[in-house]
Amino acid sequence: MTFRFFQFAAPARYYRLAGVLVPWCWAAFALLAAAGLYVGFFRAPTDATQGDAYRIIFIHVPAAWMSMVLYVAMAFWAAIGWAFNARLASMLARAIAPTGAMFTFLALWTGAFWGKPAWGTWWVWDARLTSELILLFLYAGFLAIVASIDEPRRADRAGALVAVVGSVNVPIIYFSVKWWNTLHQGATITLTTAPKMVSSMLVAMLLMTLAFWAYAFAVVFTRSRAIVLERERHAAWTADTARAPHGAAAATGAPT
Amino acid sequence: MTWNSASEFFAMGGYGLYVWGSYAVAAACMAIEPVLVAMRHRQARRALIDEGTA
């Protein structure tokens, strides 16, 4: 039963469920981003030492968090797909990778635009920045290896190897500001200490983080639905689903 | 309220280039990616429909 769930039922059921969730994710993203930007630009005060340049934090920190969270999620699903021969998990890993890479790029880009006014330089080869750049290369490596192997399941396994080995880098990024003497400041938010920020700044940052989560879910669900259709095109349910008016409704998921 | 006028808002206390340079690129990325994935999904659906009718 479990075997069949992984092997067949999952993609069809997942396709429909994800299709239902996507509009809700977009609605949540719109509301959270609007609220976060409002608080960030109109309620949070100007920083005493950094002026208004600090407002980059409202996208920089959420993007950096997403870059790491999505990498862990990608490695997790790639590993599940490999260990349990679960196709859907491998497809999910592939669907997460481009969005994770995009957030990694944004973390680096906004970091450079914050580093220039704060430190006087766009880039330094500091432990935090360098390990985040390596994360971008790991995403690129995953995407490249998966794209370069024609046989889908072999590509999934090769990608999983890259993703799992590369996940060593995530704690390195996170602890880099503690382990090495870096130009990058330490963690603003930790689980063990009280936040060292004005509450409106904190609220804006958390709202933007939730907005980015909603965005990531919406995009990853949509991309994974496309991947499911591309990969499962010889299964009976996909043809029915594609012809249904909204792509989600008709398929019964019971192939003959 | 932090800002007294729109121009003050856009100036960002002299850091306009850095703040808007960050936000503009983030907004562009997060506008383009959803369009690309939606196109990919639509293409996958159309390919299946074509295959079915051919």
Q: What is the pLDDT of residue A232?
A: 83
pLDDT at A241 over 80: no
Closest by Cβ to A242, choosing from B3, B26, B45: B45
Cβ-contact A226, A19 below 8 angstroms: no
**Residues in chain B closer than 8 A to A242 (CB atoms):** 44-46, 48-49, 52
Query: How far apart are alpha carbons A162 and A140 in whole angstroms?
Result: 10
Asked whether the predicted pLDDT for residue A249 surpasses 80, the reply is: no
Q: Which residues contact A18 (CB under 8 A, 6 or more apart)?
A: A221, A222, A224, A225
Element (H, E) at B30: helix B16-53
DSSP line for A186-249: --S--SSS---S-HHHHHHHHHHHHHHHHHHHHHHHHHHHHHHHHHTTTSHHHHHHHHSTTSSS
In a domain, A140, yes or no: yes
Judge whether A6 lies within some domain: no
Q: What is the pLDDT of residues B1-54, one digit of tens each?
A: 679 999 999 999 999 999 999 999 999 999 999 999 999 999 999 988 887 655
B26 and chain A in contact, CB less than 8 A: yes
Q: Does A198 touch chain B (CB under 8 A)?
A: no
Give the residue on A whose Cα is nearest the Cα of B36. A223
Of B3, B29, B52, the CB nearest to A239: B52
Strand residues in A56-133 grouped as ranges (E): none
Exposure string of A84-96, with b = 16+ CB inside 10 Å and e = fewer, is eebbbbbbbbbbb
- Give me the residue from A102, A116, A247 closest to B33, CB to CB: A102
The Cα–Cα gap between A47 and A93 comes to 39
Q: Is residue B32 less than 8 Å (CB to CB) from chain A?
A: no
* Confidence at residue A195, expressed as pLDDT on a 0 to 100 scale: 67
Tokens of A72: 């862990």
* A125 contact B CB<8A: no
Query: Given an 8 Å threshold on Cβ–Cβ distance, is B13 in contact with A52?
Result: yes
Find the domain containing A223 and state its range: 13-243
The DSSP bridge partners found for residue A51 are A47
Please tell me the predicted confidence (pLDDT) of residue A186: 79
Domains: count for chain A: 1
CB of B38 within 8 Å of any CB in chain A?
Answer: yes
Q: Which contiguous run of DSSP H or E holds residue A59? A: helix A57-83
State the nearest Cα–Cα gap between B16 and chain A, in angstroms. Answer: 8
CB B44 to CB A229 under 8 A?
yes
Mutate to test the interface with A, among B7, B39, B43, B45 (most CBs of A within 10 A): B45
Tell me which of A55, A92, A102, A227 to substitute to probe the interface with B (most B C-beta atoms closer than 10 Å). A55
Query: Is A2 inside any structural domain?
Result: no
pLDDT value for A190: 72
Q: What is the pLDDT of residues A83-137, one digit of tens each?
A: 999 999 999 999 999 999 999 999 999 999 999 999 999 999 999 999 999 999 9
What is the pLDDT averaged over residues A134-141? 98
pLDDT over 70 for what percent of chain A?
Answer: 89
Interface contact flag, B49 A55, Cβ < 8 Å? no
Is A243 within 8 Å of B49 (Cβ atoms)?
Answer: yes
Residue A64: partners with Cβ closer than 8 Å, 6 or more residues away: A103, A107, A111, A132
CA distance B10 to chain A (A): 11
Q: Where are the domains of chain B?
A: 22-54
The reply to whether residue A233 touches residue B48, judged by beta carbons under 8 angstroms, is yes
What percent of chain B has a predicted confidence (pLDDT) above 90?
80
Nearest CA in chain B to A44: B2
Handedness of CA A77, A80, A83, A87 (dihedral sign): negative
What are the pLDDT digits (tens) for A179-209?
Answer: 888 888 877 777 666 666 788 999 999 999 9
